[in-house]
Amino acid sequence: MPLIQTAGLFAAGLLTTSGLFTGAVPGAAPDDGPRVPCGAVWSQLPEDLQEDLRAVRDLPAGEKAAGLREIRRDALDGDYGNRVQRFAERRDERIRAVRRALPEEMKADLRAARNLTGEARLDAYRAIRSGALAGEYGDRVQEVAVQVQERREACRPS
């Protein structure tokens, strides 16, 4: 995934309450929250967050993930303002809830992928994504994977 697309999805996750996994958490309605186009999300980001995301784009490939993690930490610390901090905290809560709700087989595959490095790790994550889209982890995971894929395509730079 190109960095700007990753950054756009990160920003969308920070600024929208819908999140990519809305409805994946038991008790949450699948259509909770607004669906916001990526351009609309980007224009609402604080200027310093936009600058930091642009700076990550210029980092060497091996440093980009660390740069995005630093931005995430800064967002959680309130460096981009209270609004971004609240959204970052909600996103983290939602991600933890989603991780708890994942099928055991998918959790095991994700743990195994985290233990890999470089291209092997990327290949493992791609295989997990393909499996999710193909329904290998169940219907609900497939449904959410399709939603994520649609969001990625909608946010793809033109």
pLDDT, tens digit (0-9, with 9 covering 90-100), for 39-84: 777 888 999 999 999 999 889 888 888 899 999 999 999 999 999 9
108: in domain: no
Contact 32, 23 (CB under 8 A): yes
Contact 141, 132 (CB under 8 A): yes
- What pLDDT does residue 74 have? 97
In the block, residue with structure tokens 């994946």: 24
Average pLDDT over residues 20-34: 39
3 has pLDDT over 70: no
Percent of the chain with pLDDT over 70: 75
- What pLDDT does residue 83 have? 94
141: in domain: no
Number of domains in the chain: 1
109: in domain: no
52: in domain: yes
138: in domain: no
91: in domain: yes
**37 pLDDT tier (thresholds 50, 70, 90):** low
31 has pLDDT over 80: no
86: in domain: yes
Which domain covers residue 68, as residue numbers?
3-102
Distance CA(55)–CA(78), nearest Å, equals 19
Contact 40, 73 (CB under 8 A): no
Average pLDDT over residues 99-118: 93
Q: Which residue has the higher pLDDT, 122 or 12?
A: 122
- What pLDDT does residue 107 have? 95
Which of 40, 44, 118 has the alpha carbon at shortest distance from 80? 44
Which of 1, 129, 149, 123 has the alpha carbon at shortest distance from 61? 1
